[in-house]
Amino acid sequence: MIFMTGLVIFDLDGTLLNTIEDLGTACNHALEMCGFPQRDMKEYNTLVGRGIYNLFRDVLPPSSRSEEMIMKMKGYFIPFYDLHKCDKTRPYDGIYEMLDSLASAGIKMAVASNKYQDGTEKLVRKYFGKYHFEKILGQRDGLPIKPDPMIVQEAMEAAGVTDKDEVVYCGDSDVDMQTGLNAGVTTIGVLWGFRTREELLRYVPWAIADSPAQLSALILGR
């Protein structure tokens, strides 16, 4: 059976934008300011994606993972990242062309990220300001984060889409695949981000895209 796509929800980090170096640099700055060893930049490929509080908890030594220290990390991370979040961050090759093709086809779009809300909004507006997103959603204190399906439900409500068969969720990590699965929508994994094909396949996505051009073709041909 072929379903028409009415709404595409994108993860941000590792899907639309390559943010890993700026995220890692900001987190290493916070670690240094708190008196802890910095992490190798390659480690951040698997550390990011579950929200900043989980990121801080994971990078800290096990004996120092107190809520007080996590908030201290946040106090150093947020202002540094806000100043340096665009130093190395760039859209992946082909992302603009992919978004152009979807917008031209009249498909509604939204962003659902575990990055904190202010950072999510600022990055989307800077790099994708010419596009209309029905909703730009990030991590907000007091609300559940992905893989909880609430963020998908919020995007659907904002877009006026009620049929889950019309929704596609795209992301690069296990968290993204779980989010789409929990929400009962079609999931497509992308391979140009931070994680591996094997990680995505564990959650049996509808498809896996090797490039933004292939992602566009999958969505439009669905």
How confident is residue 222, by pLDDT bands cut at 50, 70 and 90?
confident
Give all domains of the chain, ordered by start, each with its CATH number.
Answer: 7-18+90-220 (3.40.50.1000), 20-84 (1.10.150)
Query: How many beta carbons lie within 10 A of that of residue 104, not counting itself?
Result: 9
Which of the four pLDDT bands, split at 50, 70 and 90, describes residue 4?
confident
The amino acid occupying position 66 is S
pLDDT, average across residues 103-124: 97
Query: Residue 2 has what pLDDT?
Result: 60
pLDDT at 77: 97
Coil, strand or helix at 190: strand
Helical H runs in the chain?
20-33, 44-47, 52-59, 67-84, 95-104, 117-128, 150-159, 174-183, 197-201, 212-220
**Span 134-163, average pLDDT:** 97
pLDDT of residue 171: 98
Quickly state the pLDDT bin for 149 (edges 50, 70, 90). very high
**Chain segment 164-192, per-residue pLDDT in tens:** 999 999 999 999 999 999 999 999 999 99
The pLDDT of residue 139 is 95
Could you report the per-residue pLDDT of 115-131, keeping only the tens digit for each? 999 999 999 999 999 99
For residues 41-66, average pLDDT: 95
Task: Report which of 97, 110, 94 is spatially closest to residue 167, judged by C-alpha positions.
Answer: 110
- pLDDT band, very low/low/confident/very high, at 40 (cuts 50, 70, 90): very high
If you average pLDDT over every residue of the chain, what do you get? Answer: 96
**Distance, CA of 18 to CA of 93 (rounded, Å):** 10
Q: What is the pLDDT of residues 92-103, one digit of tens each?
A: 999 999 999 999
pLDDT by residue (tens digit) across 188-214?
A: 999 999 999 999 999 999 999 999 999
Which single residue is written with the structure tokens 């498909």?
A: 107
